[in-house]
Chains A and B, each alone.
Chain A
């Protein structure tokens, strides 16, 4: 048995939520070609059809590109602080991809170890995530290589499976998901299917072995020299979460802000003295890979990547996670080959 819903009912639900003052974020067209997640004004902006995935991520619904941390007023020698207004509207992220939803339980760690980030947590508690299982993938997708898949349930409150003819099977995983679809579903025998997902092409064990020993490998230089040092990969990544804290002041009133930042930018780590621990672009690329596949796992037990492929999808010069990890695998394979060949050579001599 399954539960299903019609596409028109879904769209009506989206309109009702928006009408009720809830915020609904989902994929829609920007211009004629580009698909991005955005806050929706009406359900007809929502794209439910099959396509690989949006070029940005849902993280901005929980960790916006810029947000106010608090306000201050300067009155001579006196300063008055006031809290930023925390959001209180329920928000529904609709038709997100499973590789986006999977980022949320991963991000929960960093925003809650020891010090708890009230801004992220408030939005997280207000958010219900409804994913749309993937029928398609493109050359950039690699979820299956990092433990995900076209119907990965991590982070989803409910998941839709396209049945064709504008019908969807709905699977609710959490109370939030169940509450959202309460009274809207019909019983059925139809069960949704998903696409095969991208072929598994990375072996993380091999990558991790390399990272353990090869911080200084010439591979970093060779593979990442073409990186131009923009933040496109990081800003469109569902799991990258680095930020900057700055002031915006007009007259005597100001606000402290946090905005996305990226380890790929040259200024990211410059000390007050002018010294920069990562003065060269390959060092910055190396940091991004290490953070995702070595540092975050060592801290929180999960890799900081869901295989969405946006990094290479948006990279102006064809870099991203997969080209680098593929090169690492090739390097490891070549080493194993050389090792085996040497071994074979030694055996020959022995004979």
Chain B
């Protein structure tokens, strides 16, 4: 797969079809691969692909420093590819002005990431070039929400205690926001000060406000790449919040973000058939 990846990327750069490859590099074998930006055909040997390529590189598509490098080709896994569908639907990227290289994937991370256990996108969808082979099988929807289901067996008080303990550790480094491909707001609500929407100090109250606001802003948009959870240095399991909101979108509207480029975004559309059970 890596050889084929090098070949494809070399051709893309040599032909001038793209100016930069957003991919994974690995300088030190002892360290997991990290994002790299390859701009010359001679450097494509530096690209790697293995089951430690956890980062979702689509977060770079909207960054001005990376955009300045020119037309990109981007390497994605099946889960990451869903972010491109959302970014396109939300008019944040020009899909025709990039080449998306999808890597067949049987799971990443050591140990395997939680999301990989219920993956139904081993072969990336809506990409321009697919490299490698894998079989994507439908997954029982409830299996996707396994962690959430286990969590929800606890009482309300237990869950409240859990979140209090988790969110108390948040120091507002905003790694969750910065790593997220869909947190692309030019000025985040957390950085706005006219008026100040919620406490910018990492008080428990402010941390609740921040993480709940973020989860809601990602409602029907979060594609479940779990990058926020991976990036959090305090080990806060943000995945649970996102799963909870994603399941609401799926149950109420039959919608999963980033699967269908034609589908109306769940928050951006209204139908008289929409359930109103949330207004009680």
Direct contact of A and B (CB under 8 A): yes
Interface on A for B, CB 8 Å cutoff?
Answer: 30-31, 33-34, 36, 55-56, 60, 65-66, 139, 225-226, 228-232, 234-236, 244, 246, 248, 257, 259-260, 262, 265, 267, 280-282, 314, 316-319, 323
Distance in angstroms between the alpha carbons of A56 and B175 in the assembled complex: 14
Contact A260 B171, beta carbon cutoff 8 Å? yes
The 8 lowest CB-CB distance pairs between A and B, nearest first, are A318-B34, A316-B231, A231-B173, A230-B175, A230-B178, A34-B235, A314-B233, A66-B201
Contacts of B203 in A (CB 8 A): 66, 248
> With A226-B34, A267-B191 in contact, is A231–B175 under 8 Å at CB?
yes
Contacts of B55 in A (CB 8 A): 316-317
Which one of B27, B34, B175, B235 contacts A31 once the chains associate, using CB atoms below 8 Å?
A: B235
**Cβ of B179 < 8 Å from any Cβ of A?**
yes
Which one of B37, B178, B200, B237 contacts A259 once the chains associate, using CB atoms below 8 Å?
A: B200
**Cβ of B59 < 8 Å from any Cβ of A?**
yes
Contact B173 A56, beta carbon cutoff 8 Å? no
Contact A236 B199, beta carbon cutoff 8 Å? no
Contacts of B231 in A (CB 8 A): 230, 232, 316
Nearest Cβ in chain B — how far from A210, in angstroms? Answer: 19
Q: Which residue of A lies closest to B24 (CB)?
A: A318
Interface on B for A, CB 8 Å cutoff?
Answer: 27-28, 30-37, 55, 59-60, 63-66, 169, 171-175, 177-179, 191, 196, 199-203, 227, 230-231, 233-235, 237
Contact A139 B174, beta carbon cutoff 8 Å? no
Q: Which residue of A lies closest to B173 (CB)?
A: A231
- Supplied contacts A226-B34, A231-B174, A281-B63, 13 more A-B pairs, CB within 8 Å: A31-B235, A34-B234, A36-B234, A139-B28, A228-B175, A231-B171, A232-B175, A235-B233, A260-B172, A267-B191, A282-B65, A316-B55, A316-B227
Contact A318 B31, beta carbon cutoff 8 Å? yes
A-B contacts, 15 of them at CB < 8 A, read A31-B237, A36-B234, A36-B235, A56-B234, A65-B171, A230-B175, A231-B174, A232-B173, A235-B171, A246-B200, A246-B201, A259-B201, A260-B171, A280-B64, A316-B230
Which one of B28, B178, B237 contacts A228 once the chains associate, using CB atoms below 8 Å?
A: B178
Contacts of A265 in B (CB 8 A): 174
Contact A244 B30, beta carbon cutoff 8 Å? no
Which one of A31, A55, A65, A228 contacts B233 once the chains associate, using CB atoms below 8 Å?
A: A55
Nearest Cβ in chain A — how far from B200, in angstroms? Answer: 6
> With A30-B169, A65-B171, A314-B233 in contact, is A259–B202 under 8 Å at CB?
yes
Nearest Cβ in chain A — how far from B113, in angstroms? Answer: 13
Distance in angstroms between the alpha carbons of A334 and B59 in the assembled complex: 33
Contacts of A36 in B (CB 8 A): 169, 234-235
